[in-house]
Amino acid sequence: MFSTCICASSLAPTTPTTTPAAMPGDDQAAKPVADPFLRFLLPAPKPRPAEPSPPARLVPPHGLVAPPLPLPHARPDERLFIVPPTRPSWLPPPPPPGTTVKPRPVAPPNEHRARNAGRFAGNGNGGRGRVPGAFLPPNRGRAGPERRKVATDHKSKEKKAWVAVEKKGEDAGDEDPAVGSEGYSGGDEGGNEVEEDQLELEGGEQETEQEGGDHRQRLDQQGELKNSLAVAPDGNGDVDRPIENLLMPQSNQAPRLRGRMRRRQVECRHDIDTFTPGFIELYESLKPSEEHKSKQQQLVDSLAKSVSKEWPNAQMHLYGSCANSFGTAHSDVDVCLEMEIGTGSAVEILLRLAEILRTEDKFESVEAITGARVPIVRMSDPGTGFSCDICINNLFAVANTKLLKDYAQIDQRLLQLAFLVKHWAKLRGVNETYRGTLSSYAYVIMCINFLQLREPNILPCLQAMEPTYALNVDGTECAYFDEVHQLHDFSAKNKESIAKLLWAFFHYWAFHHDYRNDVISVRLGKTISKQEKNWTTRVGNDRHLMCIEDPFETSHDLGRVVDKQTIRILREEFERAAAVLQYDEDPCATLFEPYIL
Ligand code: GTP
Ligand code: MG
């Protein structure tokens, strides 16, 4: 090629009458061109180069190819900017260009599979999954290809018919089933929750449904870079882990971010109300029977006799779920003794009470738990199997018991929602304060606040209304509007079914609640900022990662026990629950599948 070029230019005729260059093996080349017309087909004469010829320039136009510049020796993080983005290997190959992508049937990948098998890592049972009988490999808590594979291998789930729910073309053009289906199942949160919250705040919350795929892709890439390069110290005082431990594989994290962003905007499935009868039936079955209540009363009477012998002036209050109407057939009996303590202490009284109850031999397993925030005596009734907690002068609990009972009378959907949430929390193993998850009381408070914020409101904010009830506890006024019979029509404008509310509750806690900044407050009927409460950092054992203000003891965060590990577990469980309600063909059953440790 190169030699041909040289020949063509050097032998070209300088005048129109000269013959063309002879080419090897070309018979015609030796003959003169007779027809002047054909001369126009000859190459144009090349102008002689000016003398002397300048050195070759490396700027266009030129005929020279500059040698490739040597790649600078990049540090690993710099290489991220040089290497073009590649499609992660775990995604299916993209469709050929020009193919119209059909809306994807929403697959049931692993959204309610063991997301956190390995939860409570310190308990030695970390690898066990939540499917009864299953013993899952130790990496079941991980996202990515392995988890997806295990999920799709699970035959029993494959047979289910899943309902696709679309919103304004949400999934149209989504060529990425793995990503789309990740919405509820999320990815590995092996890093820390603050890092993730940061991602959501910086990237995720900016996206709206109207924004196209390009923008989504850009955000993903930005998110991936942030994941890799910009890990901020957590705002909760825990900065002791090395940064590399906080980083997660990009293939895990981007889909999660994408999924979270997407599902924030999702609408509830259209057939959600068909599940309401099932949920109502379950709720009815959870309500304690009359027989159960009368047995509880017998236990209380028997206890009252024992107490009055030693402390005749003590007043006995029932508190907690046996008195606030949120009690199920499995709830314990909570009793508060109101009495003058004199020179002794509440702990001394409890130790004495435990002694008395043991000698009377009416109750079993009598135990004084004195190290708790609220010291108690715990025992069980052999006849009924009921567990009973007795505390001294815990009048805040008496006040909040009445508050909850009054809220329950305004709209029956509160009781239904709270019963189902409590039942779910018990079965899913996220109702254990000693392990860093939430108390039943905290879940009821979450339900009240959720219904206060529903549009149109289902519950009012009783503490923001003119008080008709007040109890002074240690100088704190516990006051609110308790004439709730006047509020029976309060929620008349809101017709949402319990199935829809249950889905919306989990969806809120999975995707909408701002864990980084917000505190839920039943007292004010809204969310307030952590800054306002000065709950931005860990104080002692109160981590303030998931903040739930007690309605009367406002310095008390009911979520204080939630730590970095259990906030992940909780959020994963909220996501699972939302996914089950959104997609499962039998959510009334699947939602309550027990988590087996
Ligand atoms: P069950 O699980 O049905 O027994 O629900 P419950 O509402 O009785 O919950 P639990 O036995 O955990 O709590 C008893 C009561 O203690 C609550 O209803 C509140 O009145 C009061 N309480 C106040 N602060 C707290 C707290 O931080 N944690 C718990 N668990 N209870 C609190
Ligand atoms: Mg209780």
Q: What percent of the chain has pLDDT over 70?
A: 56
Distance separating alpha carbons of residues 568 and 565, to the nearest angstrom: 5
Instruction: Compute the distance from residue 361 Cα to the ligand 2 centre, in Å.
Output: 23
Same fold? 290-397, 410-591: no
Averaged pLDDT for residues 47-53 = 56
Q: Is the CB of 400 under 6 A from ligand 1?
A: yes
pLDDT at residue 264, as a whole number = 65
Q: pLDDT tens across 184-237, in order?
A: 433 333 333 433 433 333 333 333 333 333 333 333 333 333 332 222 333 333
Return the SS3 of 376. Answer: strand
- Name the residue among 257, 266, 91, 123 with its Cα closest to residue 188: 257
Pocket flag, ligand 1, residue 551 (CB < 6 Å): no
Whole-Å CA distances, 379 to 328, 359, 401: 19, 13, 21
Domain ranges of the chain: 290-397, 410-591
Q: Does residue 124 come out as left (phi exceeding 0), alpha (psi in the -120 to 50 range) or beta?
A: left
What does the pLDDT read at residue 260? 57
In whole angstroms, what is the distance from residue 132 CA to residue 18 CA?
A: 95
Which carries the bigger pLDDT value, residue 484 or residue 239?
484
The pLDDT confidence band at residue 2, using thresholds 50, 70 and 90, is very low
Taking the C-alpha atoms of residue 177 and residue 183, their distance in angstroms, rounded to an integer, is 10
Q: Which residues pair with 557 in a beta bridge?
A: 549
Smallest CA-to-CA distance from 562 within 193, 61, 88 is with 193
What is the C-alpha to C-alpha distance for residues 23 and 347, in angstroms, rounded to an integer?
Answer: 113
**Residues 530 and 546: beta-carbon distance below 8 Å:** no
Instruction: Give residue 258's pLDDT.
Output: 47
Question: Which ligand lies nearest to the CA atom of residue 404 in the structure?
Answer: 1
Average pLDDT, the chain: 71
**Confidence label for 145 from pLDDT (cuts 50, 70 and 90):** very low
For the entire predicted model, the pTM comes to 0.65
| pLDDT exceeds 60 at position 443 | yes
Could you give the CA distance from residue 217 to residue 225 in angstroms, rounded to a whole number? 12
Q: Which residues contact 424 (CB under 8 A, 6 or more apart)?
A: 577, 591, 592
334 lines ligand 1 (CB under 6 A): yes
Nearest to 576 by CA among 38, 207, 185: 185
| Closest alpha carbon to 141 in 175, 177, 117 | 117
Å from CA of 440 to ligand 1 middle: 6
Q: What angle do CA 280, 412, 395 make, to 5 degrees?
A: 120
Q: State yes or no: pLDDT of 98 exceeds 70.
A: no
Tell me which of 109-113, 415-419, 490-494 is least confident.
109-113
pLDDT of 121 reads 53
Q: Give backbone dihedrals phi and psi of 149, rounded to 5 degrees, phi first.
A: -65, -45
Residue whose Cα lies nearest atom 1 of ligand 1: it is: 331
Q: Answer whether 397 contacts ligand 1 (Cβ < 6 A).
A: yes
Q: Which residues pair with 317 in a beta bridge?
A: 336
pLDDT at 86: 44
410-591 CATH fold: Poly(a)-polymerase, middle domain (1.10.1410)
- Tell how far the Cα of 322 is from the centroid of ligand 2, in angstroms: 7
Q: Is the CB of 227 under 6 A from ligand 1?
A: no
Q: Is the CB of 440 under 6 A from ligand 1?
A: yes
* Per-residue pLDDT at 170: 33
d(CA 351, CA 518): 40
Distance in angstroms (rounded) separating the CA atoms of residues 517 and 527: 10
DSSP code per residue over 355-369? HHHHHHTSSEEEEEE
Are 350 and 392 in contact, with CB atoms under 8 Å apart?
yes
**Ranges 1-10, 102-111, 136-145, 270-279: which has the least confidence:** 136-145
470 — phi, psi (to 5°)? -150, 140
| Atom number, ligand 1, closest to the C-alpha of residue 401 | 20
Give the pLDDT of residue 51. Answer: 57
Rounded to an integer, what distance in angstroms lies between the CA atom of residue 180 and that of residue 107?
9
Q: What is the C-alpha to C-alpha distance for residues 351 and 370, in angstroms, rounded to an integer?
A: 8
Cα–ligand 2 centroid distance for 99 (angstroms): 59
* CATH superfamily label, 290-397: Beta Polymerase, domain 2 (3.30.460.10)
User: What is the number of the ligand closest to the CA of 552?
Assistant: 1
Which residue's C-alpha comes closest to atom 11 of ligand 1?
320
- Percent of the chain scored above 90 by pLDDT? 51
d(CA 556, CA 473): 14
Quickly state the pLDDT bin for 420 (edges 50, 70, 90). very high
Q: Which amino acid residue places its CA nearest to atom 24 of ligand 1?
A: 397
| Ligand number, closest to the Cα atom of 397 | 1
Residue 180 has pLDDT above 60, yes or no: no
Average the pLDDT over 521-537 and give the result. Answer: 97
The radius of gyration of the chain's CA atoms, rounded to the nearest angstrom, is 35
Cα first-last separation, the chain: 74
pLDDT in tens, 13-25: 333 333 344 444 4
pLDDT at position 174 = 33
Q: What's the token pair of residue 369?
A: 């738990």
**Residues 443 and 321 sit within 8 Å (Cβ to Cβ):** no
Q: Please state, in angstroms and rounded to a whole number, the distance separating the CA atoms of residues 180 and 255.
A: 8
**Residue 401 CB–ligand 1 contact under 6 Å:** yes
- Look at 146 and 302; give whichever has higher pLDDT: 302
Counting ligands in written order, the one closest to the CA of 321 is: 1
Determine whether the shortest distance from the Cβ of 332 to ligand 1 is under 6 A: yes
Ligand 1 pocket, mutate which of 331, 374, 441, 556 (most atoms under 8 A from CB)? 441
What distance in angstroms lies between residue 333's CA and the mean position of ligand 2's atoms? 6
Burial of residue 53, with CB atoms counted within 10 A of its CB: 0-12 exposed, 13-18 middle, 19 or more buried: exposed
The C-alpha atoms of residue 212 and residue 208 are separated, in whole angstroms, by 9
Q: How far apart are CA 405 and CA 413, in angstroms?
A: 13
Using one digit for the tens of pLDDT, what is the confidence trace for 541-577?
A: 899 999 999 999 999 999 999 999 999 999 999 999 9
